Amino acid sequence: MSTTERNINFIEQIIEKDLAANTHQGRVHTRFPPEPNGYLHIGHAKSICLNFGLAEKYNGKCNLRFDDTNPEKEEQEYVEAIKRDVHWLGFEWHGEALYASSYFDTLYQWAVYLIDQELAYVDEQNAEQIRISRGSLTEPGEESPFRSRNKEENLALFEKMRAGEFAEGAAVLRAKIDMSHPNMCMRDPILYRIRKQSHHQTGDKWCIYPGYDFAHGQEDAIEGITHSFCTLEFAVNRPLYDWFIEHLPVPCKPRQYEFAPLNLSYTVTSKRKLKQLVDEGIVDGWDDPRLPTLSGLRRRGVPPHAIRQFCEMIGVTKSEGVVDVSMLEYSIRETLNKEAPRAMAVLNPLKVVITNMPEDQQEMLQAQVHPQDEGMGFRRLPFTREVFIDKADFVEVKPNKKWKRLFLGGEVRLRNGYVIRCNEVLKDEQGNIQQLNCTYDPETLGKDPSDRKVKGVIHWVDAASSCPAEVRLYDRLFSDETPDAHKERPFTHFINDQSLTIIYPARVEANLAKALPEKAYQFEREGYFCLDEKMTQQKGHLVFNRTIALRDSWQKLTTGEK
Ligand code: ATP
Ligand code: MG
């Protein structure tokens, strides 16, 4: 079969060609290289699924490598969170987790090697001078006055940099390539900077740190990576990546390929911006259920395979675009509709007294855990004289023919239970409805009354056995489709102030007292919800997060669909 017939993506085509030509002795070795300066987000999931997915598909290996060359912004907390998230998505890295910082000795030796080859020099211009002398896209750069230093002098100065004898910013090591190269990346890029900072892995061993370009390709080479995938913005760095691989005594020659990053509508996926939301207290930590972080999605009840399915759906291409967030929502709904256990919860409880039921009577009703999957078993629903229904399911006067729910003098079926009739409405002094007095028809369990049809079915919970619960309804965090694409306003300007609605106390069926955290249940007619363990402990009552509404109400609003 040809590759086009099998419909494989451009990266798979590259790999299959390499395998056919035995380019890397038949090996496929990829890596996922996060910088531990924040939590992983949905964009990273695309890269994880790509790298780990290719290793799985082609019987190869995928490393997890922390690209920890910048000691300023990195923390151990992020390292742990990243490992947890990769595992959660269902992937296992090859061997131990790796750290770019453990190659610092080799990278240092390779820097010395370049000096020795007269391909690197110590520049004592300051950052501003270096910036200006790089030129622009239309003008060539100017050579540094320190560029022609001899190699002995460079070796001695670089050793001084390493020994901490220069102040921060007083000197850098640069590659000697071409100051008038059309690609700005090739105009004597900086290899090492002085940073008098402790590092979370290497402590105080180093006060000089390699830059991204000098580190990344060499790390790939040290690890025997065959295909190094990164997002499109690194395409300009590729000639430099190749230059290092060509000029250094590396043990393997990896190749870099670029793919389009994931951009999602109504979402920001930049660690820096997510960190700002966290630091400014706009959200409740990195795992706030409104964030597109993997820990946020998990806390919201999104199953990992829904994210993998989404990544499969969007595919991998070379052209950048914005993916509609409703595609992610669709994957979540589809997955949960198939597998979420059903339960009943009443968000705005209205008390109903079943007047023809004796006070001490309790009947045990049964309901399927999943309507299409008997294998998921049954659950028990106590039914007593007092139940709660949702305020929205009752009106005193039937407004029109379409109204199938309860009204004074009308009938409705309680889901998984009996048909009830409303005979009386009790109100407080202000006229607010306090209670409904109803009667139930004992002949109607699982079947319609013999002489009439009852079309409406509403959800309910038993008053005595149900539990009070807090329900947190989340909406999109941003009200704008591209919150970080506006030059005149910061992305925080577009925060949706309706992104969180807290309802308390709602009532949930007793079975939900044993709900598993991070596991979504369908609250019938309301949406998918999962227990928030952290909040439940903090607040001392059950707290549920809405994972997603049943239908795409947003779509309805924007398209005017009914
Ligand atoms: P951010 O822009 O959020 O700060 P980053 O690129 O700095 O992300 P890294 O930790 O360097 O974050 O990313 C690790 C890997 O994930 C890189 O290979 C990067 O290309 C990839 N990646 C990051 N964001 C996306 C995205 N939106 N879509 C696809 N891949 C991404
Ligand atoms: Mg990066």
Nearest CA to ligand 1 atom 26: 43
Q: Is 479 in the pocket of ligand 1 (CB under 6 A)?
A: no
Encoded amino acid at 536, one letter:
T
Distance between the two ends of the chain, CA-based, in angstroms? 46
Q: Determine the distance separating the centroid of ligand 1 and the alpha carbon of 34, expressed in angstroms.
A: 7
Record the pTM.
0.94
554 with 561: CB under 8 angstroms?
Answer: no
Q: Residue written as tokens 């300066």?
A: 37
Instruction: Assess contact for 311 and 261: CB atoms under 8 A.
Output: no
Cα(190)–Cα(144) distance, integer angstroms? 12
**271 CB less than 6 Å from ligand 1?**
yes
Residue located nearest, by CA, to atom 25 of ligand 1? 43
Using most ligand atoms within 8 A of CB, pick from 47, 93, 275, 293 the residue to mutate for ligand 1: 47
Taking alpha carbons only, the member of 333, 68, 365, 4 closest to residue 210 is 68
Residue 388 · residue 507 · CB < 8 Å: yes
- Nearest atom within ligand 1 for CA of residue 231: 20
* Ligand 1 neighbourhood includes 231 CB (under 6 angstroms): yes
**Whether the Cβ atoms of residue 44 and residue 34 lie closer than 8 Å to each other:** yes
pLDDT given for residue 72 in this prediction: 82
Q: What CA dihedral angle connects 321, 324, 325 and 327, to 10 degrees?
A: -110
Which residue has the CA at smallest separation from atom 15 of ligand 1?
Answer: 34
What confidence score (pLDDT) does residue 447 get? 87
Mutate to test the pocket of ligand 1, among 9, 44, 278, 291 (most ligand atoms within 8 A of CB): 44
Which-ligand-closest: CA of 231?
A: 1
For the Cβ of 226 lying below 6 angstroms from any atom of ligand 1, the answer is: no
Residue nearest to atom 4 of ligand 1 (CA): 271
The alpha carbon of 109 and the centre of ligand 2 are apart by a number of angstroms equal to 24
pLDDT (0 to 100) of residue 560: 42
Mode of pairing for the β-strands spanning 190-194 and 208-210? antiparallel
Using CB atoms within 10 Å of the CB of residue 526, give its burial: 0 to 12 exposed, 13 to 18 middle, 19+ buried. buried
Which contiguous run of DSSP H or E holds residue 539?
Answer: helix 533-539
Q: How far is the CA of 213 from the centre of ligand 1 (A)?
A: 15
419 φ, ψ to 5°?
-85, 135
Torsion angle in degrees (nearest 10) through CA of 416, 422, 424, 427: 60
Which residue bears the tokens 């780990």?
A: 52
Q: 292 in ligand 1 pocket by Cβ < 6 Å?
A: no
Q: Is the CB of 317 under 6 A from ligand 1?
A: no
Q: Give the three-class secondary structure for 432.
A: coil
Compute the Cα dihedral for 354, 357, 360, 364 and give only its sign.
Answer: negative
Hey, which of 68, 231, 277 would you mutate to test ligand 1's pocket, going by the most ligand atoms within 8 Å of its Cβ? 231
Atom of ligand 1 nearest to the CA of 47: 30
- SS3 (DSSP) at 289: coil
Spans of the chain below 70 pLDDT: 1-5, 552-562
Sheet with strand 433-441: strands edge to edge: 457-458, 411-414, 419-427, 433-441, 349-354, 386-390, 460-462
Tokens of 123: 């520049």
CA pseudo-torsion sign 250, 254, 256, 262? negative
Looking up tokens 């595992």 gives 87
Burial class (CB in 10 A: 0-12, 13-18, 19+), 148: exposed
The reply to whether ligand 1 has any atom less than 6 angstroms from the CB of 100 is: no
- 37 CA closest ligand 1 atom index: 10
Nearest to 149 by CA among 127, 126, 171, 181: 171
Q: Per the omega criterion (within 30 degrees of 0), is the bond before 505 cis? A: yes
Q: CA 408, CA 394: separation in Å to the nearest integer?
A: 8
